[in-house]
């Protein structure tokens, strides 16, 4: 170390907020300050005499400036920038480590004789600090460094402030605590360290890091304090923003029931956010991957291990759901987790989401839907049964009725009831409680009508060409009533009992959603000059009314042999209900 100004130099050296090590020509540490000891996490005694490669990742000679990774023994060590300053002709070097930000380019250092003889000035220029010499007896303070750049005061103005002026420049909210810290450090002979807001010449405040070491006389009386003051306003602002960001993250994790985590696949250690620890029931201690992997229920272990392996080895997406037994209270929790792998750092990082409430709500919804399906099926079943009871009563009345005309009316009514009842039977049997296959329904209905007319053994051929597609109940019932009237008309007039013939039905749905139903028979057909609009029976009037009013469709009657009709309507007249 330089001989001149030994006490002043040593005091500043110890008080500097930058980490400084002094190395001999063999790159062994022969001295270091408090900031370096704090950064490395070891005492000065333990570090003095250590080779540089035991402290950092250096191998070989050290350059004038560059980057190094310190061996602090802490997780996530950062690469820091440094500069070196030759401090004597014997080969000793001062290694200044920039712990706050990258200082490269701040100062162009001339390693000439002037700077070799004034290493303190170089440190001040490199770090942007102010150095002070506080005379405790007189209260005068001598400042050195880029005073105007930091404070806005001229050198003369700043050096005239003294201890009382310095105190006045401290923010009122920080003043009493800062002064108390200064006095305590002098009384207890400890290093003075304080961070507070300091007023510039223009009245604005900025945060500073103030550190000093007291020099005492032979009787232990304080004489002077040598120290440094550094502008840390940007760092404080970044720290405040980080605190706010972390607070927002904690609130978001609490509200959303989420958390984030990291697996270090080298150290086998786990980082878990506050939200992740809350979900898993983990304490504040450091956890290993093996310990955390005991939390999921055993039946999910194989699946989770395979998902992690596939993510790391094959880059497959990690998106899993599983259950855990929370360590704090033993509660069973449903978890959804997604993760990605960083091969450069060999770290798996991901998020977890407590989906217990969602799963419970999902199960409740499924249970409610199952109950609804059961009730709806029961409703369809009872409706069909009740309609069959009504039909049976009407059939009994028809048998007991003395008049043929009344009997026919009752039978026609029964057929209409059966057409509606068949829809409910189809819905009861269907997996879809809102739709039935319209073609299947029509073919079954035609056969049911033939059976109702006791025409099963007649030579009536059925020619069906029907596309398969679903239809809601509100379309199926009107279509069923139309088919009932058409088939009944054919069996009564077109192909009466004892005759043979063919009933043809075509059903299709176009790409634009139009349903086309074509019906024909090769029976007797209407008489010459028949007007479907004026001369139609009640059955034909019913067909036209259902088509135009219930289905909002179009109906066209054809000519030629037998009976022909074509009906078109949209399939979106009614919406799906279930």
How far lies 70's CA from each of 27, 97, 105, 179, 333, in Å? 15, 10, 22, 34, 42
Question: Does residue 107 surpass a pLDDT of 50?
Answer: no
Give the residue from 257, 288, 296, 293 showing the smallest Cα distance to 274. Answer: 257
Instruction: Work out the angle between the directed axes of helices 473-489 and 538-545 (0-180°, nearest 10).
Output: 160
Q: What is the pLDDT of residues 176-217, one digit of tens each?
A: 999 999 999 999 999 999 999 999 999 999 999 999 999 898
Count of C-beta atoms within a 10 Å radius of residue 344: 6
Give me the mean pLDDT over the 14-36 stretch. 82
**Where do the DSSP E strands lie in 111-204?**
130-135, 141-145, 192-199
Tokens of 486: 């058409």
Dist CA 271 CA 278 (whole Å): 13
Note the pLDDT of residue 1. 38
* Predicted TM-score (pTM) of this structure: 0.41
Question: Does residue 285 surpass a pLDDT of 90?
Answer: no
Give me the mean pLDDT over the 156-166 stretch. 94
Cβ-contact 390, 413 below 8 angstroms: no
Residue 567 or 116, more confident: 567
Dist CA 448 CA 422 (whole Å): 9
pLDDT band at 489 (very low <50, low <70, confident <90, very high): confident
Dist CA 530 CA 87 (whole Å): 124
For 34-56, give the DSSP string.
Answer: HHHHHHHTS-HHHHTT-BHHHHB
Question: Does residue 112 surpass a pLDDT of 60?
Answer: no
Percent of the chain with pLDDT over 70: 77
Count of C-beta atoms within a 10 Å radius of residue 25: 10
Torsion of CA 16, 17, 19, 23, to 10 degrees: 0
Tokens of 39: 């950064």
**Phi, psi of 193, deg, nearest 5:** -135, 125
- Calculate the CA 8 to chain-centre distance: 57
Give me the mean pLDDT over the 322-348 stretch. 91
Tokens of 9: 């130099």
pLDDT band at 68 (very low <50, low <70, confident <90, very high): confident
Residue written as token pair 């989401």? 353
Tokens of 170: 């401290």
Tokens of 248: 């927002």
pLDDT band at 36 (very low <50, low <70, confident <90, very high): confident
Note the pLDDT of residue 396. 62
Tell me if residue 93 falls in helix, strand or coil.
strand
Kindly tell me the burial class for residue 533, based on how many C-beta atoms sit within 10 Å of its own C-beta (0-12, 13-18, 19 or more).
Answer: exposed
Cβ-contact 131, 227 below 8 angstroms: yes
Choose the weakest-confidence range: 9-23, 68-82, 296-310, 499-513: 68-82
Question: Does residue 3 surpass a pLDDT of 90?
Answer: no
Tokens of 436: 């039935």
Question: Does residue 76 surpass a pLDDT of 60?
Answer: no
Residue 449 or 8, more confident: 449
Count of C-beta atoms within a 10 Å radius of residue 376: 16
Apex 456 CA angle, 452 and 462, nearest 5:
105
Dist CA 440 CA 444 (whole Å): 6
Q: What is the CA radius of gyration of the chain?
A: 47
Choose the weakest-confidence range: 165-169, 242-246, 289-293, 455-459: 455-459
Q: Which residues pair with 471 in a beta bridge?
A: 436
Dist CA 13 CA 19 (whole Å): 9
Q: Is the torsion defined by CA of 53, 57, 60, 65 positive or negative?
A: negative
Note the pLDDT of residue 371. 64
* Region class of 547: left (phi > 0), else alpha (psi between -120 and 50), else beta: alpha
Tell me the pLDDT of the chain averaged across its residues.
80
Note the pLDDT of residue 25. 82
Tell me if residue 81 falls in helix, strand or coil.
strand
Give the residue from 246, 261, 278 showing the smallest Cα distance to 340. Answer: 261
């Amino acid at each position: 170390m330089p001989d001149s100004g030994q006490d002043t130099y040593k005091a500043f050296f110890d008080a500097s907020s930058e980490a400084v090590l002094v190395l001999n020509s063999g790159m062994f540490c022969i001295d270091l300050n408090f900031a370096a000891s704090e950064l490395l996490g070891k005492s000065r005694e333990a570090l003095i005499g250590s080779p540089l490669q035991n402290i950092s990742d250096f191998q070989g000679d050290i350059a004038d400036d560059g980057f190094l990774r310190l061996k602090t023994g802490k997780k996530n060590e950062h690469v820091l920038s440094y500069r070196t300053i030759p401090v004597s002709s014997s080969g000793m070097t001062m290694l200044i480590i920039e712990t706050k930000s990258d200082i490269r380019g701040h100062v162009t250092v001339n390693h000439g004789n002037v700077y070799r003889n004034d290493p303190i000035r170089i440190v001040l220029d490199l770090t942007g600090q102010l150095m002070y010499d506080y005379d405790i007896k007189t209260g005068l303070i001598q400042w050195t460094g880029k005073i105007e750049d930091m404070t806005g005061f001229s050198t003369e103005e700043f050096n005239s402030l003294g201890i009382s002026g310095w105190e006045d420049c401290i923010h009122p909210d920080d003043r009493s605590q800062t002064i108390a810290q200064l006095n305590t450090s002098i009384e207890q002979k400890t290093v003075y360290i304080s961070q507070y807001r300091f007023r510039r010449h223009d009245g604005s405040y900025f945060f500073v890091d103030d550190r000093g070491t007291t020099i005492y006389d032979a009787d232990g009386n304080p004489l002077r304090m040598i120290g440094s003051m550094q502008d840390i306003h940007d760092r404080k602002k970044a720290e405040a923003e980080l605190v706010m960001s972390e607070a927002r993250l904690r609130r978001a994790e609490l509200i959303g029931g989420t958390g984030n985590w990291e697996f270090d696949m080298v150290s086998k250690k786990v980082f878990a956010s506050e939200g992740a620890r809350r979900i898993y029931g983990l304490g504040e201690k450091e956890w290993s991957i093996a310990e955390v992997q005991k939390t999921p229920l055993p039946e999910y272990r194989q699946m989770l291990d395979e998902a992690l392996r596939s993510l790391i080895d094959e880059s497959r997406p990690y998106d899993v759901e599983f259950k855990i037994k929370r360590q704090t209270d033993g509660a069973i929790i449903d978890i959804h987790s997604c993760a990605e792998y960083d091969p450069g750092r060999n770290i798996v990082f991901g998020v977890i989401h407590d989906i217990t409430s969602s799963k419970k709500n999902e199960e409740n919804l499924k249970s409610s839907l199952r109950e609804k399906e059961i009730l709806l099926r029961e409703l369809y079943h009872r409706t069909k049964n009740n309609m069959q009871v009504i039909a049976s009563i009407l059939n009994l009345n028809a048998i007991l009725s003395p008049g043929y005309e009344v009997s026919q009316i009752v039978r026609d009514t029964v057929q209409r009831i059966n057409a509606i009842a068949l829809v409910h039977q189809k819905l009861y049997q269907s997996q879809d409680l809102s739709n039935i296959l319209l073609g299947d329904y029509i073919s079954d209905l035609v056969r049911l009508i033939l059976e109702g007319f006791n025409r099963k053994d007649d030579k009536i051929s059925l020619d069906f060409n029907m596309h398969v597609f679903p239809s809601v109940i509100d379309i199926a019932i009107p279509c069923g009533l139309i088919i009932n009237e058409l088939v009944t008309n054919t069996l009564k007039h077109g192909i009466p009992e004892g005759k043979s013939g063919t009933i043809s039905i075509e059903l299709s749905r176009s790409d634009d959603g139009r349903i086309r139903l074509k019906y024909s028979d090769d029976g007797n057909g209407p008489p010459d000059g028949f007007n479907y609009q004026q001369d139609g029976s009640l059955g034909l009037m019913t067909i036209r009314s259902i088509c135009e009013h219930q289905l909002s469709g179009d109906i066209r009657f054809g000519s030629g042999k037998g009976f022909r009709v074509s009906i078109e309507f949209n399939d979106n007249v009614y919406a799906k209900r279930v």
